Structure 1
Amino acid sequence: MPEWLRPPATGYTADDLDRLRDLPPHTEVLFGGLVFSARQTTFHARTTSRLDQQLADQVPDGWEVCCRMGLKLDTRNRPEPDVMVVDARADTGPDQTFWLARDVLLAVEVVEEASAERDREVKPRKYATAGIRHFWRVECDEGRPVVHVYELDPATRSYGLAGIYHKQLKVDRPFPVEIDLT
């Protein structure tokens, strides 16, 4: 049996993901527990891919876009946002397995039924507490993406809704972005 089937009494750490063998792809650590990804839907795959491409075309110099890579928030939390915009200077090389919260400008979660509670409630709170300035939550509405844009209130360390976009996402923060959502 793989060793990860028997969790330590104190729970897993964010660093355990790099040492545990044979974990399923895209395993996360939240609250010290392992979280496994459900199968991806076509909506999720297409939306994530399109956001990745569109953001990569519009991201300012010095930043880069990453999909489904670890984000170390603290010792007991290492989620894997669907898309992130990260500081390119924080790249430590080809063996890097995660980004640190301080290096993330934008985290994006594309909501699926299996992960809806985590994507809508748990992860946004954790991203805000870690100081990630911008968060987008993408929902499916009749097969089309709807983007909920949030900005961090540094005084409360929580997100405030900055807008909901149905047909076209056009924002100037965290940098100018324009994406056709149809």
Structure 2
Amino acid sequence: MGALMSVAPEPGWPEPEWHRPPVGGYTADDLDRLPNLPPHTELIDGSLILVSPQTAFHMRAMRLLENRLLEAAPPELDVAREMTVTLGPRDRPEPDVLVVKGEAEPRQTTFQPEDVILAIEVVSAESEARDRNVKPRKYAEAGIRHFWRVEEDKGLPVVYVFELEPATKTYVVSGIYHEQLKVPVPFPIKIDLTAINRRQP
């Protein structure tokens, strides 16, 4: 989810520093130091990506996956939502949901790829190319072993499950799940995908 940086300042307001990208683009560390960045700004190939308004499907899909993963994850793993992963000096994307090793420190703002067990992207209309191509390629190259892409079909999630092929550092699809997601890795997970619209903890 997100849009390339193209926001103009309000008339009469000073232009934010991040409206003037440096030669060569921004770096991963810039996300922590640039003032007044919009929430959930990502960095892809040195360019800032701004978040578009979230749809109800996107919100509900994230909530369902986060809650079910929290229930299923072993105690040595944690589930995070909308936190960045520093893949390299010019790439700091923000997956919608993550399963990570250990527990984040209170002031931590990003994860390293070696700490990420599973990255999940819920596809939005304006982010299809990034969620389907750019970000999965970068996650795979960084060595993140498991990736899920979530698409919407008639209001329900369809989950495309990928595993890393280590010799080529590319993802291979291991399943496409409608109505129910059941996988043995990275740990046993069973999710009723039709429950997306139910209010449940």
TM superposition score normalised by structure 1? 0.98
Q: For residues 63-120 of structure 1, give each alpha carbon's deviation from its aligned partner in whole angstroms, at most 9, with x where no partner exists.
A: 000000011101100000000000015x3x2110000001000000000101111100
Residue 57 of structure 2 aligns to a residue in which SS?
helix
Residue in 2 that maps onto 1:153: 165
Residue 34 of structure 1 aligns to a residue in which SS?
strand
What RMSD in Å do the two structures reach over aligned CA positions? Answer: 0.7
In the alignment, is residue 136 of structure 1 matched against residue 122 of structure 2?
no
Note the C-alpha offset of 1:19: 0.2
1:5 to 10, 14, 19: 19
In the TM superposition, 1:115-130 aligns within 5 A as 115-130=127-142
Identity %: 57
Q: Which amino acid aligns with 1:125?
A: R
Note the C-alpha offset of 1:179: 0.1
Residue 24 of structure 2 aligns to a residue in which SS?
coil
Which consecutive unaligned segments of at least 5 residues does structure 2 have?
Answer: 1-14, 195-201
Residue in 1 that maps onto 2:75: 61
In the TM superposition, 1:65-84 aligns within 5 A as 65-84=79-98
Residue in 2 that maps onto 1:110: 122
CA–CA distance in 2 between the matches of 1:180 and 1:3?
Answer: 45
Q: For residues 108-137 of structure 1, give each alpha carbon's deviation from its aligned partner in whole angstroms, at most 9, with x where no partner exists.
A: 000010111110010000000000000000
1:101 to 102, 110, 113: 113
Q: Which amino acid aligns with 1:38?
A: S
Q: Which amino acid aligns with 1:154?
A: P
Which consecutive unaligned segments of at least 5 residues does structure 1 have?
Answer: none
Residue in 2 that maps onto 1:28: 42
**The structure with more radius of gyration:** 2
Q: Which amino acid aligns with 1:19?
A: R
In the alignment, is residue 45 of structure 1 matched against residue 70 of structure 2?
no
Q: Which amino acid aligns with 2:159?
A: V
Poorly superposed stretches of 4+, deviation over 3 Å: none
Q: For residues 23-75 of structure 1, give each alpha carbon's deviation from its aligned partner in whole angstroms, at most 9, with x where no partner exists.
A: 01100000000000111000000000110000000001210000000111011
